[in-house]
Structure 1
Amino acid sequence: MAILQGPLWGRGSARVPGRPASILVLTMTLGSSVRIPAVVILVLVVGGCATKPRELMPTPLIYEQPGGKPLFDRPTERSTAVDLLYITDRGEPTPEEAALKLPYGETRGRRLAFGSAKIDIEPPITWEQLEHQSQLGERTQPINLQLGAVTELGTYPPEPYQIEILSTGEAIRAPEFQKRHDAASRSLRAEIARRLEVSPSKEITLFVHGFNETFATAAFTAAELCHFLGREPVCAFFTWPASHTGNFLISYTNTTESAQYAVDHLKKTIRLIGSQPGVKRVHLLAHSRGAELMLSAAHQLLIETIAAGQEPVERLKLGELVLFSPDVDMEIAAQRITGHISDPDLITVWSKRRLPRGLHGQLTIYTSPEDRALLVARILFRSRHRLGQITADDIRPEGQKFLAETGKVNLITYEGKRTDLFGHSYFTTNPEVSSDVIQLLRYGKRLGEPGRELVQTGPVTWEFPTGSRRQDQMAQTRTKDPFFIGQ
């Protein structure tokens, strides 16, 4: 029996304030002959101010001076604060959350709201100081993120929208609700247009967080990614009612269902952003449990667009889809990604020989077999594979060949030193990994090109040079599934 202490699922390095949790790991018997590891989480995901400042993520290697690329080489607003666009279906904060000055809580809101969230730098420094410190491997003064002014700019009507029955017996949306919906969409589009006007890249990045995140912590991650993308795109985040308090088992179960609840709202958000006039590309980023939410929303949009007889890449303008430490079952992820390929009856407006294109770019999945947070999820769900833990060894050669033929999927494994407590947030806490993300999103570099010289381990699988393939594999039990190897 062993006790592990530390914040779960959020960014859990020692340098980041978090909520401690206690995990009791033991073995239990299910049924008459099956013995599996089980995790009992003792009641704690305890207190601590959710809006405490967070230290800015380490400088990605690509920017480290001397010799690194300049962080800001195109005109941007020279304000130390990061101004994010947020879209949320979180409800009102509880009294405890309000005391922490959180604008939205962990309950489910029956409507979409949107607005501006400012992330301030503490202690206050000049732009020149921020730029200098942001390119140092070892900073000489603290750079902390703090949630600043949050301004709600609009809300959609409460759901479900009311209906009216006409004299003919037909049902329509109540005109007042339709009017309010249209007004909210116009307001959101106007805000996006305002931000696009000053964006050097005319692109939008939309980040979706995972479990055990508040509005503030989700905003911190979105802000530091935006900062190290040179503040060039319109930076937005979709924040959903992920639980962050109470008994862990109950909290995680509730979060799983809240992610399902949020799928339609994220789908509406992506649809509106993707159809925004003036936007060049929309890049979708998701972490942990947010990856399942993102895959579900993207899958539904793909089906919706195909059914409408439209080419998804033209309608939605999706560029890169990037999943960090995805907390989703491997088989479910595969179904979300390839399901339309196996449903020729769905594609009725094209020749059945031609498949619609979903992305201008690619689906990139960052994984780590040492991700401790996903190990807990794997045990709770009795899931053989969590997508965020697999490596090249877990994908059969015929599976790699199939994915390679699509030309749209890459899996990148990190097996180096853990840079946060649970090894779950390496995309921000590890400068080598974050540098690769920057090369992809900001500079459009493909794997194998200068700046992304990773080690190719299969047709669609890669690993960081500092990592090492697992030398002592567990005995593999092959299943009938033609793509994946059992564990």
Structure 2
Amino acid sequence: MIAKRIEGLLDHHEGGFGPPKPMHQYNALARRRRNLCFMRDRGLGQQSYKDLCKQHDAHGASLMVISIAGEQEKYAANGPAKVWQHAIGKGMADRVAMERQRPWDGLCGALSRLAFGAVLAIAIGVGIFMALQHPPMQLMPAPRVFLRDGVNLFTAQPEPPADTRIELFYATNRLPIGPASDRIYTVAPSTDLHLGVSNIRVGEPGRTWEWLYNLSTTAAEDDDRPHLNLETMREDAIVSDDDLSAEALAWLAQMNAALARALDRDIVIYVHGANTTVERAAGQAAQLMHFTGRNSVVVLFAWPTAENFLRYPRDLQTALGAAPQLARLVALLSEHTDARAIDLFTYSAGSTVGSEGAALVGRAVAAGAPDPRLSEVYHAAPDANFQTFVMDLEDYIGITDRVAVSVNLNDSALRLAQAVTRTSRAGRPDMRELTPEETGFLFDDSRDSGLEIIRVRPENMEGLSRRSHSFWYDDPWVSSDVLLLLLGHLPAGERGLEMKQRDVGTRYWTFPTDYPERLERVLLELRENPSLSTLLGTTAPH
């Protein structure tokens, strides 16, 4: 009965099981559904499925394996995560579906099999509904630096791209399934660091570069901005320890080749926030790369989030667990690539990963590890425990060129995060939580040690929501400042920002109302700088 109900529900949503489909169709379906994904079994045995179930069980996810290889049916449960296996024939499965465990899953153990079937059907429906809350990223508004006649960052490229696709390097500690040529990364953590290359398509298939260029250099309406669609994730290597495989060295060689073609010789690591799918994370990193004029090499660090706001506290725990893998990635890129420097860009709860990861790198350097060549560290709307954030900062600010922190004190997402965690967040700090020593350190660094606190004031910025959390990519002024920092390595005063000072002695920066005019002067000055004029472009637009 349960099998028939499951089969009927899946038949309603996806055309049923039917004949076996090619692998790429199941992977594409997985990316569309996100919460509910299917793939063809490729010889993975029953014991391997059980191992996978155990890892999902430890992180609040459920796994249901369904087979239609024969007529007999058998159900088995694996622990409290309600991992159900419909084993037929030799126990090999033709379909895998993952559905994150819901808060009410614990009640299911007391239900009969029939009642559980009804609950499972509801859970799958809820999962599909939750998936709809994670659409692909919409291309961000063009940064102000692009809204100029004539040259822009795109014009620095010797040849325009062939189409709208963006090739993006990635590293992740998410547990993978599926073939290496087209990986799916689950919500469960892996003990390894998985390295690969993804492809993101901007807009519908068949769109041209000229179409995307026009959208990227004009103030397009929200409805006109396309989505960034994750097409493939090809896993090239796995790093389990300090000994690098030939595959890992080949991945690093690909990155060196990309650096040789790039005008910007830094590598930028992008770390996304909580409640974020791999597709949205890839979209955020890809649009950052796109608006560098495609002149930079960007690496997405995709850490495992539950992709469900109800599991936000678990995301914060997982973020801390991902920090050592991020520190490993920084060391890997520093030691084995030709990059001038490594830049770290974190967004929202990605700052919990990035702050702790950078602190681990700093502590390693203090213990005698090689210089990691960290240059720019930028935390946008940081969702990290404020006191811990300051303590981490003490450990790594000395090995960087600059640490910038952009905050909106009316940030509604961080207001909610503060209510959940009962501590202030680095993006909405409460100075009363710091000790006198920590307060003194923060004040001194804001004046003397390369710490830039950037206050985003939506009331001075047309079109930006007063409670904005995503201002780094939603606002053309803020995104322009990000690009000037990452590409130009300029201090705040040379990027057109205005310095303010509080009575207690902290110095911070803000966007003045005449920022567009200041930005124009900054760009004119940069054009006279030989090291940056090539990056800004000198040819006619493509």
TM-score w.r.t. the length of structure 1 is 0.70
User: Hey, what's the Cα distance between the residues in 1 that align with 2:334 and 2:226?
Assistant: 34
- Relative to structure 1, is the Cα distance of residues 184 and 263 closer, same or farther in structure 2, using a 3 angstrom cutoff? farther
Is 1:308 matched up with 2:368? yes
Is 1:88 matched up with 2:172? yes
In the alignment, which residue of structure 1 is the partner of 2:55?
none
- Relative to structure 1, is the Cα distance of residues 142 and 336 closer, same or farther in structure 2, using a 3 angstrom cutoff? closer
What letter corresponds to residue 229 of structure 1 in structure 2? T
Q: Say which is worse superposed, 260-269 or 186-195, in terms of deviation.
A: 186-195
Alpha-carbon distance, 1:190 to partner: 1.8
The one of 473, 493, 501 aligned to 1:457: 501
User: Hey, what's the Cα distance between the residues in 2 that align with 1:277 and 1:84?
Assistant: 16
In the alignment, which residue of structure 2 is the partner of 1:135?
217
Q: Is the 8 A contact 2:316 2:352 kept in 1?
A: no
Query: What pairs with 1:69-218 in structure 2 (closer than 5 Å)?
Result: 69-75=152-158, 78-79=161-162, 80-92=164-176, 103-123=184-204, 124-138=206-220, 141-157=224-240, 181-218=244-281
Matched positions, count:
380
Q: Is the 8 A contact 2:362 2:395 kept in 1?
A: no
Is 1:242 matched up with 2:242? no
Is 1:65 matched up with 2:125? no
RCO higher in 1 or 2 (8 Å CA, sep ≥ 6)? 1
User: Hey, what's the Cα distance between the residues in 2 that align with 1:18 and 1:391?
Assistant: 39
Alpha-carbon distance, 1:297 to partner: 1.0
In the alignment, which residue of structure 2 is the partner of 1:368?
408
User: Hey, what's the Cα distance between the residues in 2 that align with 1:282 and 1:440?
Assistant: 13
Q: Is the 8 A contact 1:372 1:422 kept in 2?
A: yes
Q: Is the 8 A contact 2:411 2:469 kept in 1?
A: yes
User: Hey, what's the Cα distance between the residues in 2 that align with 1:357 and 1:403?
Assistant: 10
Q: Is the 8 A contact 2:236 2:247 kept in 1?
A: no
The one of 482, 489, 507 aligned to 1:444: 489
In the alignment, which residue of structure 2 is the partner of 1:403?
445
Which is strand-richer, 1 or 2? 1
Q: Which structure 2 segments of 5+ residues have no match?
A: 1-31, 35-101, 105-125, 515-542
User: Hey, what's the Cα distance between the residues in 1 that align with 2:508 and 2:433?
Assistant: 10
What letter corresponds to residue 481 of structure 2 in structure 1? D
SS at match of 1:369: coil
Q: Over residues 188-235 of structure 1, what are the superposed CA-to-partner deviations in whole Å (9 max), with x where a residue is unaligned? A: 322222222222222111100110111111000001111111111111
User: Hey, what's the Cα distance between the residues in 2 that align with 1:68 and 1:394?
Assistant: 48
In the alignment, which residue of structure 2 is the partner of 1:358?
399
Q: Is the 8 A contact 2:499 2:507 kept in 1?
A: no
In the alignment, which residue of structure 2 is the partner of 1:10?
none
User: Hey, what's the Cα distance between the residues in 1 that align with 2:496 and 2:191?
Assistant: 43
User: Hey, what's the Cα distance between the residues in 1 that align with 2:316 and 2:137?
Assistant: 26
- Relative to structure 1, is the Cα distance of residues 369 and 237 closer, same or farther in structure 2, using a 3 angstrom cutoff? same
User: Hey, what's the Cα distance between the residues in 2 that align with 1:182 and 1:302?
Assistant: 26
Q: Is the 8 A contact 1:62 1:68 kept in 2?
A: no
Q: Over residues 13-41 of structure 1, what are the superposed CA-to-partner deviations in whole Å (9 max), with x where a residue is unaligned? A: xxxx999xxxxxxxxxxxxxxxxxxxxx9
Q: Is the 8 A contact 1:319 1:362 kept in 2?
A: yes
Alpha-carbon distance, 1:42 to partner: 9.5
Q: Is the 8 A contact 2:136 2:280 kept in 1?
A: no
Identity between Structure 1 and Structure 2 (%): 23
User: Hey, what's the Cα distance between the residues in 1 that align with 2:372 and 2:231?
Assistant: 32
What letter corresponds to residue 326 of structure 2 in structure 1? L
Alpha-carbon distance, 1:447 to partner: 1.3
Alpha-carbon distance, 1:393 to partner: 11
Q: Say which is worse superposed, 402-411 or 283-292, in terms of deviation.
A: 402-411
User: Hey, what's the Cα distance between the residues in 1 that align with 2:151 and 2:420?
Assistant: 43
The one of 419, 429, 433 aligned to 1:379: 419
Is 1:281 matched up with 2:344? no
User: Hey, what's the Cα distance between the residues in 2 that align with 1:279 and 1:205?
Assistant: 10
Alpha-carbon distance, 1:102 to partner: 7.5
Alpha-carbon distance, 1:431 to partner: 1.0
- Relative to structure 1, is the Cα distance of residues 374 and 52 closer, same or farther in structure 2, using a 3 angstrom cutoff? closer
